Amino acid sequence: MTPLGAALERTFGLDWLFKTRGTRPPPQEVTIVGINSGTGRALGLPSLPHYWPRTVHARLIKHLTEQNAEAIIFGIDFSRSKPGGEDAIFAQAIADADRVVLFEWLAARRERIVTAGGDDGGWTWIEQKQPPTGILAAAAKALGPFPLPKLDEAALQFWAFKPSAGGAPTIAALALQLKALTVYDQWLSVLKDARAPGVTHLPTHAGELKEPADMQHLMKMLRQMFQQDALLSRRVGEALERTHGERSDLKTRQMLTALAALYAGPNYYYINFYGWPGTIPTVPYESVLLDNNEEATAQRGDLTNHVVFIGYSDLYNPDRANGFYTSFTSRAGVDLSGTELMATAYANLLSLRTLKPSDTMITALSVLSFGLLAGILVYLLPATAAVPSALAFAGFYTLFVQWRFNEADLWLPLATPVLVQLPLALLLGLMGQYLLERRKEKQVTKAISYYLPENVVRDLTERQVDPTTLNRVVFGTCLATDMSEFITLAESKPPQELALFMNEYFDALAQALKRHSVDVMEFRADMIMCAFIGSARSPAACRRGMDAAIDVSEIIDRFAREHGSLHFNPRVGLQDGDMYVGHTGGGGRFLYSIVGDTANTAARLESLNKHLGTHILAAETVVQDSDGLLLRPLGSFRLRGKTDPTSVFEILGRKDSAKAEQLDLCSQFTEGLAVFQRKEWSRAASLFESIAKSFVNDGPSGFYLACSQRYAAEPPIYDGPAVIEMDEK
């Protein structure tokens, strides 16, 4: 499903399903001790808990312990120490209880990476735990964060394990494991029966878990066991059947099953809400501390074996800052508190009733099937029956989705089929006509795209412009290449076979050019002329042309090898400058062409490869931004038909793949070229003769050797640096 479709399902579909289902009873033995706007007043303390002495929390722990609460989870930030002996008293109460989990912040930030060389390495996401103050952290049974994945503006998911925090278990998972310590011996026995890898390294009994680090280590080891052994979850299930079948204690079996699901499950889950704020039993904080108050005693009830979550939870004040928007945010604006979300997440894990979104395959089948069936109904039935039939079908589908949500906690797509696909199906008749017209337009566009660049096709078909307005003069880099030995090839193949062969050849080259975002491609017999357009004197356009030239040369070599005995010599010429791109022709027939001196010079440079025995030649102005490329200066040439000389460079390839002999050749050749340009013909001939002997197959060295010998015998008469006159193409 697309991101827009997923957002639609979260915003409308899921909201409908939750509200239609209504409230459902949460698991027993889960209680919230909530701090509300009146708690401070009832206890004779400031309204903000931040200013309360921590001895109050110590008293709370003592009372909850006396009432046999099995686990005590604080969703309050204790990262700042308090003056006097408050923290020590609070820490002692935590240690004496031996069942307290404290909340720790998970601070997240983006941080720039700087490489060892001082370069910018991009950004990374860093998450750092901020635990309670030291004395409190040391006294706790466990420490854990409770980050919520952010989806839109609502709280929809919770983490069980946070990969970006080193796989740390969150408070929901810690609460479940702490509750399950009562069945630790049975859990260990099941793991041994299931042949869990590394089970012998686990603590032998729950009493060994003394410090928060012990709990973290235990849970990470268990998580690693299940992640590394894909079949362990199945073996644990089979072991549970053998040792804790239907006749065993139901609570023990449920707890062991919940543990197995936790460690074998995903890192995060969708929250299965129980209802409006307060659906999970919420006891006012003050009612736990007021011993002699009958009303308070009635409010808190029996907390034996309960997992108690302590934090801000005001069921009547919509202005509190720690609320989260959910499907059950009340009309008065009261959101679910973070504490109730913690309790909900724990209850989901305990009861094995987290919300299960349908997988990608089921989602796709549901959406496609609904759209197809609704479309068929509307298409086959007359208009008077089509609308009620489609609405009835949508109603039946909605009932089915709601039933699966209520009974199996399965979240199937609802908003997309009912709110999007149903209206589309009802408009299928009109859409059919529209799509038919669009099909014709696409066929025309596709036909035109065979002959014009894509951007020109879009302008012609979408903007309905006059073709002559698309003509323009632009700056860019022209790349020219043709097929060597084309005449020989044409003589050896029938016309149809030759055309098929040339189309295959051109397609291979065109794909390479497209990878470098070529702007205009023109096919001329066996030649390709193309343009990489940029702003005035754009290095980027030149660089795209150079990179494309290297790829084109490699593809021509590979194409020749793939076709047996063909021996193509790659030839590419590059020149930058102003050029005309647009329509040329007459008599009502036009081609989209590249015209100008820039294109002409690129073609001349391409031809110069034949005389020099090279593959890629570029004008000096093209190679200004050539980092990472291996270049060789080849001197100045007055190309046929040109008035001014052109300084030419050979692009040999990329430096990182260059061989040592290539580097040596470039060095020696550059020295010889400098002597040649000073018109020291005899010395140049000697140097190039030496280079030609060392590098027998190097065309430029042989070319310059011949020129040097000819000029030594009959020196040319002109002033200025040496320029080679080219009388042939």
Q: Which token pair is 358?
A: 């349908």
Q: Do 397 and 340 share a structural domain?
A: no
The model's pTM: 0.59
What phi-psi label fits residue 118: left (phi over 0), alpha (psi between -120 and 50 degrees) or beta? left
- Let me know if residue 21 belongs to a domain: yes
- Let me know if residue 450 belongs to a domain: no
> What's the pLDDT tens digit per position in 606-664?
999 999 999 999 999 999 888 999 999 999 999 988 889 999 999 999 999 889 999 99
Q: Which token pair is 567?
A: 């021996």
Q: Do 191 and 58 share a structural domain?
A: yes
pLDDT of residue 430: 47
Portion of the chain with pLDDT greater than 90, in percent: 55
pLDDT of residue 583: 79
Q: Do 478 and 395 share a structural domain?
A: no
DSSP assignment letter at 154: B
pLDDT of residue 433: 46
Q: Do 364 and 239 share a structural domain?
A: no
- Let me know if residue 458 belongs to a domain: no
Pairing of strands 527-534, 472-482: antiparallel
Task: Tell me which of 371, 394, 426 is where a domain ends.
Answer: 426
Q: Do 422 and 482 share a structural domain?
A: no
What is the domain extent for residue 344? 3-351
pLDDT of residue 549: 94
Regions of the chain where pLDDT drops below 70: 1, 108-127, 150-153, 246-248, 291-300, 318-321, 383, 428-437, 440-441, 443-470, 564-567, 588-589, 729
d(CA 263, CA 628): 50
- Let me know if residue 600 belongs to a domain: yes
| Alpha-carbon distance values, 50 to 39, 53, 76, 95, 355 (Å) | 13, 8, 9, 22, 35
Q: Do 247 and 186 share a structural domain?
A: yes
Q: Do 141 and 88 share a structural domain?
A: yes
Mean residue pLDDT of the chain comes to 86
- Let me know if residue 459 belongs to a domain: no
- Let me know if residue 449 belongs to a domain: no
| CATH at residue 507 | 3.30.70.1230
- Let me know if residue 101 belongs to a domain: yes
pLDDT of residue 537: 75
Alpha-helical regions (H) of 326-427: 338-351, 360-380, 383-408, 415, 422-426
Ordered DSSP codes for 25-67: PPPSSEEEEEE-TTHHHHHTS-SSGGGS-THHHHHHHHHHHHT
What Rg, from alpha-carbon coordinates, does the chain have? 39
Q: Do 499 and 388 share a structural domain?
A: no
Q: Which token pair is 473?
A: 């003069």
Q: How many domains does the chain contain in total?
A: 4
Task: Tell me which of 658, 682, 702 is where a domain ends.
Answer: 658
pLDDT of residue 121: 57
Task: Tell me which of 306, 321, 351 is where a domain ends.
Answer: 351
Q: By C-alpha distance, which of 581, 570, 564, 574 is closest to 602?
A: 574
CA dihedral 275, 277, 282, 284 (to 10 degrees): -170
Ordered DSSP codes for 199-257: GGGS-SSGGG--SHHHHHHHHHHHHHHHHH-TTHHHHHHHHHHHHS-TTS-HHHHHHHH
d(CA 199, CA 184): 13
Q: By C-alpha distance, which of 123, 58, 119 is closest to 88?
A: 58
d(CA 405, CA 409): 5
Q: Do 220 and 157 share a structural domain?
A: yes
pLDDT of residue 247: 65
Name every residue whose Cβ is closer than 8 Å to that of residue 378 and which is 6 or more positions away in sequence: 386, 389, 390, 425, 426, 428, 429
Q: Do 624 and 671 share a structural domain?
A: no
Q: Do 106 and 159 share a structural domain?
A: yes
Q: Do 284 and 400 share a structural domain?
A: no
d(CA 156, CA 170): 16
Largest CA distance in the chain: 123
pLDDT of residue 497: 85
Q: What SS3 state is found at 613? A: coil
pLDDT of residue 151: 62
Q: By C-alpha distance, which of 387, 367, 369 is closest to 379?
A: 387
- Let me know if residue 538 belongs to a domain: yes
pLDDT of residue 570: 87
Exposed, middle or buried: residue 49 (CB in 10 Å: 0-12, 13-18, 19+)?
middle
How many CB atoms sit inside 10 A of residue 136's CB? 25
